[in-house]
Structure 1
Amino acid sequence: MFSRLMVLAIAACAACTPLAERAALAPIPSALELRPLVGSAMIRTVSLPTYAAGEEIAFKTADNLITLREDVLWADEPERAVTLILTRTVGDILNTDVGPDPWPFVGLPDVSVDVRVERMLGGVDGTFQLTGQFFVASEAAAFRDSTHSFEISEPMTDATVASISAAQSAALLKLAEQIAATLGR
């Protein structure tokens, strides 16, 4: 009896709490077209800092503190969304098989790309920063393993969620183009 009342109370409270709005990242198509040096590539699940991996939207304040907005949440899990955007964009640039981890095709990919983000954050200074490293490892082809750093800054028009989202999408486009440039010519 007690557990049934508890379930009903929790359900009633959940119904009274307004749901947060959701913001989606939109991939930006690249004008870059490269000839691939590999037949296939896997983008491993992107590693994000803790503040960027949650559904809350992170923002750097004037005091250099990271604050999380809870009124608007990301529409998708950030690691998944970033991985899929990079996968799609790199595949479009190279016009070859590019898939996320776990590898959706039969056999091994020629290379895997492991992206580790150190900073993915917009701030009151009007700049969105995306920094980190990506690693290319040969899986099934004779391709030289390599390490690459990236430091991408995108301007933001203001501190709104729409501006943060647009700047993040533009930064991810630049990162995808950098990754594609290491796998093509």
Structure 2
Amino acid sequence: MRLICLTAFLLAGCGQTLYYTPPPANSDLRVNARARTVMINEVSMPEYAINQEIPIQTPDGGLQADTDQLWADLPDRALQVALTRHLNQITDAQVAAEPWPLSGFPEIEVSVTVETMIVQADGRLRFTGLYALRNDATRGGRIETFELFAPVPGEGYPAIIAAHEAAWLQLAETIARQI
């Protein structure tokens, strides 16, 4: 890990932009979903979180980002893809991101609105918001809030991105229990 951080530091010192992707995390949770098909709608995020810069909270509460350290993908799309991957792994449902690629319509649509996605000055990622599950067949659904925390497991941007993936996995496990 230190070698990765040292390499990232040296490359950043050369003025080279580095791009990061979350390392895939796996869940031990397995859920028999009530729905056979699930679609993850577009994810909504606050402006500071939707950009490729990775915001980190400073001790005074401000947000700071290094323009040479970027997400390899847009964070909203990365979260949508991660939720799709995790829910396919965790549940027995067929899960796809919007637009729905199969014939017909999905039984459940999942919408996520992120309120906070910040690496705090205390070294934890705070991930809050709400998710909505819509089921047109039963004309029902539910809206739930979430507040999740994930420790940043080390130094540097690879550890920060790993914390995001851990929080996203926690959200996928929460949603899996509801579908």
TM-score class normalised by the smaller sequence: 0.7 to 0.9
The answer on 1:177 being equivalent to 2:154 is: no
Runs of 4+ in 1 over 4 A off after TM superposition: none
Matched residue, 1:164: 160
Taking the aligned partners of 1:172 and 1:59, their CA distance within structure 2 comes to 17
Q: Of the candidates 97, 102, 106, which is equivalent to residue 105 of structure 1?
A: 102
Pairwise CA distance, 1:123: 2.0
SS at match of 2:73: coil
Tell whether the 8 Å contact from 2:83 to 2:168 is kept in structure 1 after alignment: yes
Matched residue, 1:142: 138
Tell whether the 8 Å contact from 1:135 to 1:145 is kept in structure 2 after alignment: yes
Tell whether the 8 Å contact from 1:20 to 1:72 is kept in structure 2 after alignment: yes
The answer on 1:52 being equivalent to 2:49 is: yes
Pairwise CA distance, 1:144: 3.3
Q: Of the candidates 90, 104, 120, which is equivalent to residue 93 of structure 1?
A: 90
Structure 1 portions without partners, runs of 5+: 1-16
Structure whose alpha-carbon radius of gyration is higher: 1
Identity over aligned residues, as a percent? 34
Deviations 1:94-114 (A, max 9, x none): 122111011111110001000
Matched residue, 1:3: none
Pairwise CA distance, 1:67: 1.0
Structure 2 portions without partners, runs of 5+: 1-13
Pairwise CA distance, 1:115: 0.3
Matched residue, 2:79: 82
Pairwise CA distance, 1:27: 2.6
Q: TM-score, length-normalised on structure 2? A: 0.88
